[in-house]
Structure 1
Amino acid sequence: MGIQELEEVRRQKLEFVREQQNPYPERFSITHELMEAIKLEDGTKEVSVAGRILSIRKMGKLCFVTISDIYGRLQIAIRRDDVGDKAYEFFRQGFDIGDFLGVVGEIFTTQTGEKTVRAKNLTFLGKAFKPLPEKFHGITDKDSCYRQRYLDLIMNEDTRNRFLLKFQMIKEIRRYLEDAGYLEVETPILIEKPSGATARPFISHHNALDLEVYLRIAPETYLKRCVVGGITKVFEFARCFRNEGMDATHLQDFTMLEGYCAYYNYIDNMEFLQSMLSTVIKKVFGSDIINVGDESIDFSGEWEVVTFRELLIKDCGIDINSYKDTQSLLDKIREVGIELQSETPVEQLSKGNLIDLLYKKVSRPKIISPTFLTEHPTSLSPLARANDDNKEIADRFQLIINGAEVINAYSELVDPVEQKKRLLEQAKAKANGDEEAMTMDFDYITAMEYGMPPISGWGMGIDRFLQVITGQENLRDTVLFPIMRPLNNE
């Protein structure tokens, strides 16, 4: 029987159900979640549970049914003698795999050791017109997993566990920050100036104000405005949007966690973030050591600190301090035979962005254990504070784990005169063709002119961090509903 025929049969069954009860009841009162019911002692009565039917085994006067939700599965035993002839026939003729079932009954354990609810009353809670994928193979096509994540969640345990891990991780990070005195805020998504990072923005139009607006690329400058307003410890789980290339490690919309603390410098934040992530990893995984593919990553102890210059000298023999402009550095890169790829032609990149591209090519993939990368060129860090002893480098660090940047942080630039100068340089680079350079933001400069204390801030890609610590090949595997190119029939 084809899919259309199966769907038609299920629609006809709905009419049969309608003759017995409302097929779409308003509510169903449960006493326990499925995973709670599994832990109950045998003999516990009047247990009320509900879930989606994943399997039905019919054995004459007895049916064994498995119902599920994202946390787990529970077996239900439906006997004709327990529920009565009418209810038993109603179940056999009206219910399909994929439907929702509510049950009231008693807990017992089968001879095979499976905790089960012996049903006394049954309630139909929703019809699935479309049949679920074959249970033994689930849904394995990646494109289908991304487009129909709901089926992926229903059928694939690995997917359920991965997203439960993500949700738990977010909860533990939020708890850690709140316990440390941080306030969670919300900042604008539609903005006039796409500032806070070097990235190409999405452009839209605000009809009511007849104004060109941008989707934010980072919440940074607004969170710093919060610090100006007196919020000394602030963070946001911010949905951000960058209109750039899509690959296995980049998406156009993603979740960025950013936090700022007044009176901290970047070294303070190194210590704070190491403590935070070590604590979160231990709570979520139950261990300081997690296995990712063939690698074991140890989050305990002191994490290594290496400078940007040292790393590039070691990995490709290029001393970035020896080259004063983009062209001379680009000539050296080509001389040693390193090929770089960029959406923006490499000749149009600023020196800082060229250095970053080089590092991502020759160094970052080799870093496995948690490592702090420091002493970035100031030209690569337009919002970071220059080092007091060497103005050519910024008081900044990146945390690299398993070949990926998971945190970017620095001592913030709080001098409005210097900030204005750097943003004007960025605006000039943008005018010369660097689409990822920052836009001039005079309103932010005005906020700075009201006075800023010393600040250190950081940003962490939540989806990227989950990808890194679970070894997913594609960032889409860590996002519930990633954007996809429409199918022809859509």
Structure 2
Amino acid sequence: MCPHESLNFDAGRLEKIEALSAGHHQLYPYSFDRTTSICEIKSRFADIGHEKSEESVKIAGRIYTIRNHGKTVFADLGDEQGRIQLYIRKNDVGEEQFSLFTEQIDRGDIIGVSGHLFRTKLGEITLWVDQLTLLTKSLCPLPEKFHGLKDTETRYRQRYVDLIMNEKARETFRVRSRIISLIRQFLGERGFLEFETPTLQPVYGGANARPFTTYHNFLDQTFFLRIATELYLKRLLVGGFEKIFEIGKNFRNEDIDTSHNPEFTLIEIYEAYRDYNDMMDLMEEFLSSLVNAIHGCDQVTFDEVVISFAGPWRRITMEEAVREYAGIDVLATSLEELQAFAIEHAVPEYEKAASPREFLVLFFEFFAEKQLIQPTFVHDFPIENSPLAKRHRSKEGFTERFELFINGMEIANGFSELNDPIDQMNRLEAQDRKRLSGDLEAQMVDYDFINALGYGMPPTGGVGFGVDRVVMLLTNNTSIKEVILFPSMKKPVADAPPNEDESQEKPAPPA
């Protein structure tokens, strides 16, 4: 056998496979009838003494360490939630099974064992094995047992190995699973219905982001991976549903950093007859309850910073944030003075700002965002960068939009949703003009969505937040790659042969 060079198959283990096959040993049995788990054993037999228990148990898992002492062997067996020591004696399991274990089984193999519990003289609960079965022969050796898998890039590329070796990684994804369950529970208890909307969309929208483009051969049509679920969920509001949400994958063809991944999980929530103030209340109630459910208190430590989720949370306008952190009243300052201020403080891309409100956004992002450590709602955004939010009821040129910041990171984005079809068409057409002029993140015009609004959408409050970033906060992980099982990665330099379509032309940006 000559495996591909990218595989990590071990030559010695391949020889053992051949030897086991020659001996008519069943290498990969179809099932194993476990009677319990390691976690349950340690709970039920917490008071076990040095004598073997009368009850026999059957467990299965992966071998992590092997310590051979001649006619006896100690090994560590692990399943999903725990590890236990095995004591294997030749006189108990017989010559054949003992030889199988000592000669053919390696670290990383998966076995099933039965036996009785006892406590060693060193006080460790141990399974005294009387029968063992090889369930899966591993061909790839595990990383060195004391140091595990340390290379960060390898951990992300081979998450399966990371999960085998790294209990912290397994715990992170257990918490992630629980967070998603709690989200559904919280919203379900309040009467929200969960829906699924298209991932492949003929027109992308709902956010300012560059899309991924694909092509459907049968329909002879260009499609886009969705950048947001918003415009389809709003169609459901038009259709008569009043409290809705979706947890789904979104795709944005953008840079990758510690808080961005091209494929990420977003939840969007909409409630008819509510506004952005109600959505701020909902987010505060939800995240506070989530933190208490996960941590048992209203505080988390993130990157050595203690963050309190106890209410009420701070609420400030974008203007107030810029005055506080940049020391300038943007709307009371001339355009020339704003440009000079930007140059003085080396604000990047200041030349793209052509109005005081555009400078307001620019200064907020440069001076204020990273200063917002404790949960803070920043509200009342300029209309120029909020094409889907309702005009502010009392502030000309602004919208009823908010973003929630925690530890300098945007967590949520919410609006009083724009439901005026004429205003919406005008704003999306303005976006489309930017797109056609070269702004790769500007939105297209979804005329079917505007047509839906023409049938009438009730006053609505909406909010969306990144599940990945919430998981980061609640598990104290400073990189989004730590909370996404299989994050997007750049192809290794010495990678496998190119994909079949790699020689084809890259699709042009959407027209």
Partner of 1:139: 149
- Corresponding residue SS for 2:310: coil
Q: Is residue 164 from structure 1 mapped to residue 174 from structure 2 by the alignment?
A: yes
Alignment counterpart, residue 20 of structure 2, candidates 11, 17, 20: 17
CA distance in 2, matches of 1:6, 1:430: 49
Partner of 1:247: 257
Q: CA deviation at 1:359?
A: 1.9
AA aligned to 1:409 is G
Q: CA deviation at 1:334?
A: 2.6
CA distance in 2, matches of 1:451, 1:462: 31
Q: Is residue 36 from structure 1 mapped to residue 34 from structure 2 by the alignment?
A: no
CA distance in 2, matches of 1:480, 1:486: 17
- Corresponding residue SS for 1:394: strand
CA distance in 1, matches of 2:357, 2:254: 18
Q: CA deviation at 1:120?
A: 2.1
Task: Tell which deviates more after alignment, 20-29 or 441-450.
Answer: 20-29
Q: Is residue 181 from structure 1 mapped to residue 186 from structure 2 by the alignment?
A: no
1:377-388 equivalent positions in 2, closer than 5 A: 377-388=382-393
Partner of 2:418: 413
Q: Is residue 123 from structure 1 mapped to residue 128 from structure 2 by the alignment?
A: no
Sort the Cα spacing of 1:451 and 1:400 in 2 relative to 1 into closer, same or farther, 3 A.
same
Residues 160-198 of structure 1, C-alpha deviation per residue, up to 9 Å, x if partnerless? 222222222122112111122111111111101110001
Partner of 1:475: 480
Partner of 1:308: 318
Partner of 2:503: none
Alignment counterpart, residue 376 of structure 2, candidates 352, 371, 378: 371
CA distance in 2, matches of 1:274, 1:9: 57
Q: Normalising by structure 1, what TM-score? A: 0.93
Residues 337-395 of structure 1, C-alpha deviation per residue, up to 9 Å, x if partnerless? 23225xxx952899877644432221111111111111111222111111211232221
1:4-403 equivalent positions in 2, closer than 5 A: 7-18=10-21, 19=23, 21-41=25-45, 42=48, 43=53, 45-322=55-332, 331-340=339-348, 347=352, 355-403=360-408
Q: CA deviation at 1:307?
A: 0.9
Q: CA deviation at 1:66?
A: 1.3
Q: CA deviation at 1:301?
A: 2.5
- Corresponding residue SS for 2:44: coil
AA aligned to 2:306 is S
Aligned partners of 1:371 and 1:400 also within 8 Å: yes
Sort the Cα spacing of 1:225 and 1:111 in 2 relative to 1 into closer, same or farther, 3 A.
farther
Q: CA deviation at 1:332?
A: 4.5
AA aligned to 1:37 is I
Residues 35-93 of structure 1, C-alpha deviation per residue, up to 9 Å, x if partnerless? 22321224372322111111111122222221223422222222223222221111111
Aligned partners of 1:348 and 1:433 also within 8 Å: no
Partner of 2:500: none
Q: Is residue 443 from structure 1 mapped to residue 453 from structure 2 by the alignment?
A: no
- Corresponding residue SS for 1:482: coil
CA distance in 1, matches of 2:386, 2:41: 54
Residues 98-157 of structure 1, C-alpha deviation per residue, up to 9 Å, x if partnerless? 110111222333333322222222111111111111011111111111111111111122
Q: CA deviation at 1:6?
A: 8.4
Q: Is residue 452 from structure 1 mapped to residue 457 from structure 2 by the alignment?
A: yes
Sort the Cα spacing of 1:425 and 1:96 in 2 relative to 1 into closer, same or farther, 3 A.
same
AA aligned to 2:383 is T
The runs of 5 or more residues in structure 1 that have no matched partner are none
Sort the Cα spacing of 1:336 and 1:349 in 2 relative to 1 into closer, same or farther, 3 A.
same
The runs of 5 or more residues in structure 2 that have no matched partner are 1-5, 497-511
CA distance in 1, matches of 2:211, 2:274: 30
Q: CA deviation at 1:13?
A: 1.3
Sort the Cα spacing of 1:331 and 1:37 in 2 relative to 1 into closer, same or farther, 3 A.
same
Residues 244-286 of structure 1, C-alpha deviation per residue, up to 9 Å, x if partnerless? 1222221211111111111221111211211111111111122
Aligned partners of 2:270 and 2:461 also within 8 Å: yes
CA distance in 1, matches of 2:20, 2:464: 53
- Corresponding residue SS for 1:39: helix
Task: Tell which deviates more after alignment, 54-63 or 469-478.
Answer: 469-478
Paired positions, count: 483
AA aligned to 2:300 is I
Task: Tell which deviates more after alignment, 191-200 or 267-276.
Answer: 267-276
- Corresponding residue SS for 2:10: helix
Aligned partners of 2:326 and 2:363 also within 8 Å: no
CA distance in 2, matches of 1:350, 1:468: 35
Aligned partners of 1:346 and 1:354 also within 8 Å: no
Residues 192-215 of structure 1, C-alpha deviation per residue, up to 9 Å, x if partnerless? 111000111111111111111111
Sort the Cα spacing of 1:318 and 1:110 in 2 relative to 1 into closer, same or farther, 3 A.
same
CA distance in 2, matches of 1:149, 1:49: 25
Sort the Cα spacing of 1:442 and 1:63 in 2 relative to 1 into closer, same or farther, 3 A.
same
| CA RMSD, Structure 1 to Structure 2 (Å) | 2.3
Aligned partners of 1:365 and 1:404 also within 8 Å: yes
Task: Tell which deviates more after alignment, 103-112 or 310-319.
Answer: 103-112
Sort the Cα spacing of 1:369 and 1:12 in 2 relative to 1 into closer, same or farther, 3 A.
same
AA aligned to 2:232 is Y
Q: CA deviation at 1:402?
A: 0.7
Q: CA deviation at 1:398?
A: 1.1
CA distance in 2, matches of 1:184, 1:6: 44
Task: Tell which deviates more after alignment, 267-276 or 398-407.
Answer: 267-276
CA distance in 1, matches of 2:272, 2:446: 22
AA aligned to 1:223 is L
- Corresponding residue SS for 2:43: coil
Sort the Cα spacing of 1:109 and 1:9 in 2 relative to 1 into closer, same or farther, 3 A.
same
- Corresponding residue SS for 1:76: strand
Q: CA deviation at 1:471?
A: 3.9
Task: Tell which deviates more after alignment, 173-182 or 92-101.
Answer: 173-182
CA distance in 2, matches of 1:350, 1:129: 63
CA distance in 1, matches of 2:464, 2:337: 29
CA distance in 2, matches of 1:44, 1:368: 57
